[in-house]
A and B are shown apart, each in its own frame.
Chain A
Amino acid sequence: SAVISQKPSRDICQRGTSLTIQCQVDSQVTMMFWYRQQPGQSLTLIATANQGSEATYESGFVIDKFPISRPNLTFSTLTVSNMSPEDSSIYLCSVERQNARYGYTFGSGTRLTVV
């Protein structure tokens, strides 16, 4: 199955600033997914990113707040813009299932704290 390198692993940011999270995959994948996990909650899908097209955002998430880039089949970034303390969460990227045997693979997560 694919191996995902996600960075940074954690960061503490000032409100009003932006943070860009990167995910690098060791193989080419068509679809990448970005999730948010707020404290004590489960994972919520932010958007689906396909290479060569604009990301598809879920209800409650907008491109101005969470711009996503997908320049090639192995890389994607998620930016959290104009941050507030409510953005403090773990952000995770994931890639589609590679074959019938292996499930979805996730990055190690970015733990963001906004102060």
Chain B
Amino acid sequence: KQEVTQIPAALSVPEGENLVLNCSFTDSAIYNLQWFRQDPGKGLTSLLLIQSSQREQTSGRLNASLDKSSGRSTLYIAASQPGDSATYLCAVEDQAGTALIFGKGTTLSVSS
């Protein structure tokens, strides 16, 4: 059974720092991996989708990488801002069209 783990569970950084969030999954035979952002008490906002054939995706200050063979993905946030404060969730799509399997998330706090 696929399990997704995110480290660290929480992270506090000063504004301007570059940071890395980690995600690992136990079964490397995934279809896609997706990173989400969730603000307190709110729904999910999709940040990046990495297809299984891809190594990385970039959107603005965000860069996500995928290493299927080792079962790992990282989300890199450059020049962090207080507005980046949220919980970041990693989710894998085991087979095409099936429900996502989520990690527990990393709660990020960026202080000004």
Contacts and interface: CB of A to CB of B under 8 A. Distances in A.
Majority secondary structure of chain B interface residues (helix, strand, loop or mixed): strand
What's the interface size class on B, roughly?
Answer: 20 to 34
Interface stretch (B12-20, B38-46, B65-73): B38-46
Interface in A15-61: 30-31, 33, 35, 41-43, 45, 48
A107 B45 CA distance: 9
Nearest to A93: B43
Interface residues of A, number: 27
A109 B99 contact: no
Nearest to B45: A106
Contacts of A45: 99-101
B82 to A, nearest CB: 22
Interface of A: 1, 6, 30-31, 33, 35, 41-43, 45, 48, 90, 92, 94, 96-97, 100-109, 111
A40 B2 CA distance: 21
Given A42-B103, A45-B100, A111-B41, 20 more contacts: A42-B89, A42-B105, A43-B44, A43-B89, A43-B102, A45-B101, A90-B41, A92-B43, A94-B100, A96-B97, A97-B49, A97-B97, A100-B51, A103-B32, A103-B46, A106-B36, A106-B43, A108-B43, A109-B41, A109-B43
